[in-house]
Structure 1
């Protein structure tokens, strides 16, 4: 039996209850500030929109750890899960992304991020362009086990992400080397003028 199984057996003998997202996170949408492209001053701080970093600017309005969820435009993936960004440090967020922060030790923000990443939100997307309004977002239901269970789930999933990142980096390096090797031999083998000269032909 794994550690997670043991924790669930010990701490969740009667199962796990659903809670509303709005009850377990701070929603900081009222602090967002959109800045048009022509009015942005280039800098080092990420400027986030609905689907991630849009630009880099000279100032920031948030400093911490946040979940960003697309509000309008790019709001839903092909598998019907929400467009999410895990954002840390000093950042600027425009009005196209909801911004969520941790509210208490009862709900780890990283755990909530993983829950949201598998949540089907197709039933709360409205309009054209598509939009997830704040009220509908607040009502998203997530399972909230005890803190120790959340911590173990986060540990396991982050470990897999780390392994995947390392493997991807290794494979990318290997593929780059093989591509260079292929290009070298392709150029050598298909350079018939050079081959004729090496064979003493003119």
Structure 2
């Protein structure tokens, strides 16, 4: 990146005010009651906080063509930014519209028309530099407002478009990785909930026997920042819809509850095999299962 900037901007990156490089279209109207299931795409300012990321190619909501004629329009490449929020941290959240057709927005939002790389500008609105400036420009106590007039005073770096695109390429890569990590974390939460409920459920005295029946399985693959790589082998219960593995340790500790195959409250430890076949697991049990 430094080499690219040195080549394309040998005298340094220029800083300009947003008012010098952009045009502002203030939104108006469009309460939630105007939103319908089909028609002209529409982004409500409240949805920017909860339903949209840095950019979007499709809208969640729509308005009728008649309603759309009265609203602020966003062309492909425009930025839609919120003007009001209950706190200064959230106000000024922006989304780049990258869909194929124009859409509309309503009150408490502003459309920013510009000539920059759209994602570059949207990413910059998440930066610490913008946060410091919007904090100084924000007004209000219970409802925080950063108007279009105040946004025009914000100063931002305007590197050559090639640099903007390279920044976007890098940040897009990290955004995808973050999404993968969040999906993995959610999967682990669901897995934890499953095993928690299984491990804390016991038959009454005099009932059946307990324990999971475990079988070995080849190593799983998970995404890493550089490539997809094998991690610790997984162990799968024949009666369980999920499998478990560890991304940080070759050992996996498990406690097993009841089924009709093994003695009650069996606990054990699964450990990755140390032989030349890393997908084989060694099971060390304090109580033996008659089925193994």
Common topology (TM > 0.5): yes
**1:124-178, CA deviations, whole angstroms, 9 ceiling, x for partnerless residues?**
1123422112121111100111111111111101110011101211221232123
Q: For this pair of structures, how many residues does the alignment match?
A: 184
Partner residue, 2:44: 48
RMSD (Å) for aligned C-alpha atoms: 2.7
1:157 aligns with 2:155: no
1:10-38 per-residue CA deviation (whole Å, 9 max, x = no partner) reads: 12222112111122233222xx3413344
**TM-score w.r.t. structure 1 length?**
0.76
1:6 to 3, 6, 22: 3
Q: 1:46 to 1:179 in 2, by over 3 A?
A: farther
For residue 116 of structure 1, what is the aligned residue in structure 2? 125
More helix per residue: 1
Checking the alignment, whether the CA contact within 8 Å between 2:137 and 2:150 is kept in structure 1 is yes
Q: Distance in 2 between matches of 1:51 and 1:91?
A: 14
Which residue, 35, 53, 69 being the options, matches 2:30? 35
**Structure 1: any 5+ residue segments left out of the alignment?**
none
Question: How does 1:72-91 map onto structure 2 within 5 Å?
Answer: 72-74=84-86, 76-77=88-89, 82-89=92-99, 91=103
Which secondary structure does the structure 2 equivalent of 1:172 belong to?
A: helix
Summarize the alignment of residues 103-182 of structure 1 with structure 2, pairs less than 5 Å apart.
103-104=114-115, 107-118=116-127, 119=130, 120=132, 121-128=134-141, 129-182=143-196
The answer to which structure, 1 or 2, has the higher relative contact order (CA under 8 A, 6+ apart) is 1
CA distance in 2, matches of 1:85, 1:158: 14
Cα–Cα, structure 1 residues 50 and 167, in superposed 2: closer, same or farther, change >3 Å?
Answer: same
Offset of residue 6 of structure 1: 1.4
